[in-house]
Amino acid sequence: MHGLTGCAGTVHLLGPVDVETPGGWHGGLPAQLRKVLAVLAVNREVSLSADQIVKRVWDGDPPESAIQMVRNQVRALRRLFEAFDGDVVERSHGGYRLSAGGVEVDAERFRSLVQEGRLRHAAGDAAGAVRLLTRGLDLWHGPEAMVDVRDVPDLQVEAVGLDELRFQAEEMVAEGYLVLGQPEEALPILRALTTLHQYREWPWLQLMAAQALIGRRVEASDETYRAAQHHLVGMTGLDAPLLAELHRALLLGVDGAELVAMIRRGHGDHPDH
């Protein structure tokens, strides 16, 4: 992966926290430096004083030298970019902030692409939505956002939100492929989603529809349905009415396109969407 737009560098939050500059990839940063960098990256719209950074990074239990440690880490960040024009970590209103023009944050670009893709998806442009969402998902370089700094509460909240947005993007990509009549492209995405998110209904429904579309209706109505029933109903004690409806449709021989339409109608009626 390379810097997003050829600027001085990119801060990567979509996986382990690290930095990429035109001079190379800077992985393996010290733990406290990664935390300070991530705090600056997720709060780049505001200026943070050294004391505010300390409170976020150490969560109320800082060492006596914490203020000086933050200053040292800011200097270290500046050295990463010292070969390039501009001050990547700016002083602003008595605090520090990442330069808006000098460095990019992959999570910001991901959110922007997901928002654009969601609009295309809502407008019925499945191909455009898949293209934009795939570009966003390609920015990830690990299974979880900020996996190495989640012991900082504020960063954990941010990371969980990014993980959820990734799930939504993958779900929309899979649905887009089904609408476009490309179930073979959706299958690996849906297998991964049903493995990682076993208690979410929509990926199971989409997987069953994709299997039906490629002629594996028996597998969809038997093996996949039983796995879905186990996780969604047996393990939670909840009802899954759309799963039961889809299963009946599979047994009645309803064609794949109508199965996809059934799922989309149910998805649109869901209060979370």
CA-CA distances (angstroms) from residue 256 to 66, 74, 248, 249? 60, 56, 13, 10
Q: Which of 99-108, 117-126, 195-204 comes out lowest in average pLDDT?
A: 99-108
Per-residue pLDDT of 214-230, as tens digits, reads: 999 999 999 999 999 99
Structure tokens at 85: 């024009």
Would you state the pLDDT for residue 272? 42
* Model confidence at 6: pLDDT above 70: no
Rounded to 10 degrees, what is the CA torsion of 232, 242, 213, 229? 20
- Reading phi first (left if > 0) and then psi (alpha if -120 to 50, else beta), residue 93 is in left
Would you state the pLDDT for residue 177? 97
Would you state the pLDDT for residue 269? 47
Query: What average pLDDT does this structure show over 234-247?
Result: 93
Query: What average pLDDT does this structure show over 98-105?
Result: 82
Q: Taken in order 148, 12, 34, 21, is the CA torsion positive or negative?
A: positive
* Integer Cα distance of 24 and 10 in angstroms: 11
For 24, counting Cβ atoms within 10 Å of its Cβ (0-12 exposed, 13-18 middle, 19+ buried), the class is exposed
Task: Yes or no: say if 32 and 21 are a contact pair by the CB < 8 Å rule.
Answer: no
* Integer Cα distance of 135 and 140 in angstroms: 10
Structure tokens at 7: 């600027």
Per-residue pLDDT of 21-50, as tens digits, reads: 877 777 788 999 999 999 999 998 889 999
Would you state the pLDDT for residue 3? 46
Per-residue pLDDT of 62-81, as tens digits, reads: 999 999 999 999 999 888 87
Q: Which of 178-182, 258-262, 266-270 comes out lowest in average pLDDT?
A: 266-270
* Model confidence at 271: pLDDT above 60: no
Q: Taken in order 222, 227, 230, 232, is the CA torsion positive or negative?
A: negative
